[in-house]
Amino acid sequence: MEVSALQKARYSYTPKLPDILKRPPDNIMPQFGAATGSIADQADLQTIFRHNYGKPVVTFTNGKNDAMRRRLCVGVVLSGGQAPGGHNVIAGLYDGMKKGCRDSKLYGFLGGPSGLLENKTLEFTGGLIDQYRNTGGFDIIGSGRTKIESPEQFACALENAKKRGLDAIVIIGGDDSNTNAALLSEYFTENGSSIQIIGCPKTIDGDLKNEHIEVSFGFDTAVKTYSELIGNIERDAASAKKYWHFIKLMGRSASHIALECALQAQPNVCLISEEVEEKKMSLDDIVTEICSSIIKRASGGENFGVVLIPEGLIEFVPEMKKLIKELNDLMAVYGDELSAITNFIDQQYWLERHLSGESLGLFTSLPPEIARQLLADRDPHGNVQVSKIDTEKLLIGMAEKKLAELRQVGAYALKFSALAHFFGYEGRCAFPSNFDADYCYSLGFTAFVLIASGLTGYISSVKNLVAPADKWIPGGIPLTMMMNMERRHGLSKPVIKKALVELDGNPFKTFAASRKQWAEKTCFHFPGAIQYYGPPEVCDQPTKTLKLEHTE
Ligand code: FBP
C-alpha cells in the first residue's frame, strides 16, 4: 500500500513516555492507595459491584517486580466512535507486553464489542502494528456500538475469552463502554474467572473526565482540527464580508468541543448547552442572542460572522428537552408501531394522540425536516442521535424570520446571508497530534502494567498532562469510583458520570469574560493546522481547556 509522506514520517515518530514507564518492566511496581468509594449511591454500587467496589487507586514506583515478565495473552476491543490515537493505545499495549515477555500475544476483536460476542479476532504482529503507528482511525480492527448487556451476552463474552485463552481484555471506549467494562469485570469475577478487564478513556467529546481522568484521548486532535477549520472559515468570512457561518460541532451532550474551539478561534457567538439549560433559555432566547450580534455588527458594516453550535444544544433547551423525552419514552414503548407508519402526516396524527399538548404544539411548529429528524432511530442507549439533527439550519431559519420581522418594522437595514456547516467526521480520524500520540501510547503501556499487576475493573489513567510527558503520572483508577446510579429506560442503572461543561470552571469563565467583545467586534483567531514537527510550543501544547482546568 502506498502511503503519504506524512504517514511515512509518522511511522517513525517515537511517542514520549512518562519516566516511570521507560524503566525495564520488571522495575515497575504497583503502589496502592487507600480504599475508594463511588462518587454517589455508595450502598447500591457496593451491592452491584461486590467484588470490585472499593479497590484502591494504583500508581507505579520503582522496585523489583518479576510479574512484569510473565507471558500474557490479551484481547483488545475498540468501542464506539472513532477518536484519534486509538492505534497508539494498541501499539503502547503491544510494545509493553512484548517488552515484558517476547512470547506474549495480543488479539484484536474485530468490529467492536460484537467481535467479542462473535469471537472474531486477529492476532497482532509487529509488522501490522508498524503500519498503524501514530495514524488516525480505528481501521486496524474496526469499531462498533454493540452493547454487551444481556446475561446471554455476558456469558458468551466469557466463553469466547476463555476459548481464546485470554488473561485480560482491554476495552477502549467512552463512558458507556467503560461502564460495560466494569460490569463485565464483575461478571467474570463472580463467575470464578480470573480474566481481567481494563478500560481506556476514549472519546473526542471530552466528557469522560474527572479528578483522575484529566481528558479522554482524541479530544485534543479533534478540537485542534475543528479550530483550524473554523479559523479558515473566519478568515474567509472576514475577506468576503458577506456570510454568516453557522457551524455545528460534534460532542453529543457536552459542549466541551464547542467551548475549546471558541477559546481557540474567538468566533462572534458560541452557544454552550449547559448554560442554555442553567438559564432555561428558550429557542427564541437563543435566536435573540444570535440576532443581537448580527444587528450590532451590521451597524458597524460587518455583515458577516461565525456562530458555533454544540450538537447537543436542542436537548438542553427546556421545551425541546421535554419534547425529546416524551418522544424517547414513546419510542421505547411503541417504537415498532410508530416506525410502521411510513407517512409523516400519519405519524403526526399518531403523535397528536400521544404527546402532551405543549410538546405537540412545539413539534408541529418545527420545520418538517427537523420534526422528521426527531423521529429518526434512537442509538443503542435509546437517545436521539443529535449528530443527525440540523440544529444549525433550524437556527438559521429562525434568525432569518426574526430579522425579517425587524426589517418589516423598518428598524434595521441589514443584510443577512447564512451558510450551514457541520464539523464532526472531519476530526475523528485525523492523524493524532503529538499530545494524543504520546498520551495514547502511554495509556496503552499503562494498561499493560495494570494487567501484568493482576488488576481488574480499572481504567488506565495518565495524569499531570499539562507537564512535559516525562513528568506524566500513569496508574489505574477503579471504574466503580467514577460511577453513580442513573435512570435508563425507566430503570436505575450504574453508570460512569458524564462530565458536562462546568459553568463555574475556568474554561467557561475565561470564555464568558470575552464573549461580549467577540459578539460585536471581529476578534477572530486563526489557530492553523496541527503541527507535528517543530518547537514544543508549537507542536506539543495541550488544549486551552486542559491548561485552564489545571492552572490556578
Ligand atoms: P463516542 O462517544 O462513542 O466516542 O462518539 C462520539 C461521537 O463522535 C459524537 O460526538 C457523535 O454524536 C457520535 O459519535 C456520532 O456517532 P455515529 O457516527 O456513530 O453516528
Check residue 1 and give its pLDDT. 73
139-143, 160-164, 319-323, 376-380: least confidently modelled range: 376-380
Atom 15 (ligand 1) nearest CA:
387
Contact 419, 215 (CB under 8 A): no
Give the residue numbers annotated as catalytic, written as ranges: 205
Check residue 70 and give its pLDDT. 95
9-13, 208-212, 371-375, 513-517: least confidently modelled range: 371-375
* Residue 280 pLDDT class (50, 70, 90 cuts): very high
* Residue 409 pLDDT class (50, 70, 90 cuts): low
Among candidates 519, 250, 265, which has minimal Cα distance to 386?
250
Give CA–CA dist 461/475, Å, rounded.
5
Contact 438, 451 (CB under 8 A): no
Contact 79, 172 (CB under 8 A): yes
Distance from Cα 263 to the centre of ligand 1, integer Å: 22
Check residue 476 and give its pLDDT. 98
Grid-cell match 449528530, residue found: 387
Question: What is the phi/psi pair of residue 367, to 5°?
Answer: -55, 140
Please compute the mean of the pLDDT values over residues 231-246 and round it to a whole number.
97
**Res 173 pLDDT > 90:** yes
Give CA–CA dist 181/482, Å, rounded.
13
* Residue 88 pLDDT class (50, 70, 90 cuts): very high
Distance from Cα 377 to the centre of ligand 1, integer Å: 15
Check residue 440 and give its pLDDT. 98
> In this structure, how many other beta carbons lie within 10 angstroms of the beta carbon of residue 529?
13
**Res 34 pLDDT > 70:** yes
Give CA–CA dist 444/134, Å, rounded.
13
130-139, 184-193, 375-384, 466-475: least confidently modelled range: 375-384
Check residue 412 and give its pLDDT. 60
Please compute the mean of the pLDDT values over residues 239-265 and round it to a whole number.
97
Per-residue pLDDT tens digits for 89-114: 999 999 999 999 999 999 999 999 99
Pocket test for ligand 1, best of 253, 387, 423 (most atoms within 8 A of CB): 387
399 lines ligand 1 (CB under 6 A): no
Pocket test for ligand 1, best of 205, 219, 248, 260 (most atoms within 8 A of CB): 205
263 lines ligand 1 (CB under 6 A): no
Distance from Cα 501 to the centre of ligand 1, integer Å: 18
Pick 225-272+291-311+390-427+500-552's CATH classification: 3.40.50.460, 3.30.200.20, 1.10.3720.10, 3.40.50.150: 3.40.50.460
> What residue ranges in 354-478 does DSSP mark as E strands?
418-423, 458-463, 473-478
**Res 121 pLDDT > 90:** yes
Pocket test for ligand 1, best of 78, 250, 373 (most atoms within 8 A of CB): 250
**Res 386 pLDDT > 90:** no
18-218+432-488 and 225-272+291-311+390-427+500-552, same CATH topology: yes
Q: Annotate 15-47 with b (16+ C-beta within 10 A) or e (fewer).
A: bbbbebbeeebbebbbeeeeebebeebeeebee
**Res 4 pLDDT > 70:** yes
Per-residue pLDDT tens digits for 505-535: 999 999 999 999 999 999 999 999 999 999 9
CA torsion, points 50, 51, 56, 59, in degrees to nearest 10? -150
DSSP β-ladder status, 58-62 and 473-478: antiparallel
Check residue 519 and give its pLDDT. 98
Looking at this protein, which amino acid is placed at residue 267? P
DSSP β-ladder status, 473-478 and 121-123: unpaired
Distance from Cα 328 to the centre of ligand 1, integer Å: 19
Q: How much of the chain is helix, strand and coil, in % rounded to 5?
A: 50, 15, 35
Q: Which class is domain 18-218+432-488? A: alpha beta
**Res 410 pLDDT > 80:** no
Please compute the mean of the pLDDT values over residues 358-379 and round it to a whole number.
88
pLDDT cut 70: percent of the chain above it = 99
146 lines ligand 1 (CB under 6 A): no
> In this structure, how many other beta carbons lie within 10 angstroms of the beta carbon of residue 405?
11
* Domain layout of the chain by residue ranges: 18-218+432-488, 225-272+291-311+390-427+500-552, 314-383
* Residue 344 pLDDT class (50, 70, 90 cuts): confident
Q: For the chain, what is the mean pLDDT?
A: 94
203 lines ligand 1 (CB under 6 A): yes
Atom 4 (ligand 1) nearest CA:
203
Give CA–CA dist 195/192, Å, rounded.
9
Q: How many helices and strands, by DSSP H and E, does the chain display? A: 21, 15
Distance from Cα 425 to the centre of ligand 1, integer Å: 9
Distance from Cα 136 to the centre of ligand 1, integer Å: 16
Model confidence, pTM: 0.95
**Res 335 pLDDT > 90:** no
* Residue 2 pLDDT class (50, 70, 90 cuts): confident
Please compute the mean of the pLDDT values over residues 483-495 and round it to a whole number.
88
Superfamily of domain 314-383: Phosphofructokinase; domain 3 (1.10.10.480)
Please compute the mean of the pLDDT values over residues 71-90 and round it to a whole number.
98
Atom 1 (ligand 1) nearest CA:
81
314-328, 462-476, 516-530: least confidently modelled range: 314-328
438 lines ligand 1 (CB under 6 A): no
Check residue 328 and give its pLDDT. 85
Atom 17 (ligand 1) nearest CA:
81
